[in-house]
Amino acid sequence: MILDLKAKSILVTGASSGLGRHFAGALAEAGATVVAAARRGEELERLVAEIGTSGGRAHAVVMDVTDVASVKAGIAEALRAVGRLDGLVNNSGVTETVPLLDQTEEGWDRVLDTNLKGAWAVATEAARHMAASGAGGAIVNIASVLGLRQGGQLSAYATSKAALVQLTKQMALEWARHGIRVNALAPGYIETDLNRGFFQSEAGKAMLKRIPQRRLGQPGDLDGALLLCLSDASRYMTGAVIAVDGGHLVSSL
């Protein structure tokens, strides 16, 4: 009963594809009114239509998280559509696989601007409205196990996610007085259209053997932790980082 999200309005960034699209659908299925935000308006409209067909409630907002003006305009539009924001899923993210010695400034900035600066911009703007409303809210930052461990040729991504873990704790500390809870999910390897082919290769199969559960995660495996963090079930929980990784972080050396 306390996992019920029927009275809540939740913004999801990076909702046009991948995990963000899945999160938007899962939250709508749980009863939330979803504001789906991303740069690709046409994909957002398709998502909103799909949610509506399934009996859910959703609105589309075009937003570029790397542009603070776009973030402010997008959240203002979201508030006009739903009245208030009870929750935020900071999901927008990009990666780049490149040896650190070959890392370019452009590539580094692209990853950090989206994964870290973008998360800061959206959360801060949303938190201002949550605090002003007097009702508080819940923010979930989507980090990664690579924010807690290392991975070859992923230095910019891992650094951005490690910083996001610390930013989550800073937000939790400063915003608790406003009734705003901030937690992070740290997914392990989750199967998507982008990585499915790799994990069918010999290199991918070898990597799977390092996961104690010996399998990839599915997007739905993140739903329980996500609903927990956005619902009143976690009302005394803030600053936590929840790994959902099949035991990857505790794998044997």
- 138-147 pLDDT per residue, tens: 999 999 999 9
Question: Residue 192: its pLDDT value, please?
Answer: 85
Residues labelled as active-site residues? 157
Note the pLDDT tens digit of each residue in 114-140: 999 999 999 999 999 999 999 999 999
Distant-in-sequence contacts of 78-84, Cβ < 8 A, 24+ apart: 78/11, 78/35, 78/37, 79/129, 81/35, 82/9, 82/33, 82/35, 83/9, 84/9, 84/129, 84/133, 84/135
Q: Which helix (H) or strand (E) holds 80?
A: helix 68-82
Model confidence over 6-61: pLDDT tens digits? Answer: 999 999 999 999 999 999 999 999 999 999 999 999 999 999 999 999 999 999 99
What per-residue confidence (pLDDT) applies to 157? 97
Domain boundaries, given as residue ranges, for the chain: 9-244
Report the predicted TM-score, pTM, of the whole model to 2 decimal places.
Answer: 0.97
Enter the CATH code of domain 9-244.
3.40.50.720
Q: What percent of the chain has pLDDT over 90?
A: 93
194-251 pLDDT, tens per residue? 788 889 999 889 989 999 999 999 999 999 999 999 999 999 999 999 999 999 999 9
According to the model, what pLDDT value does residue 1 have? 57
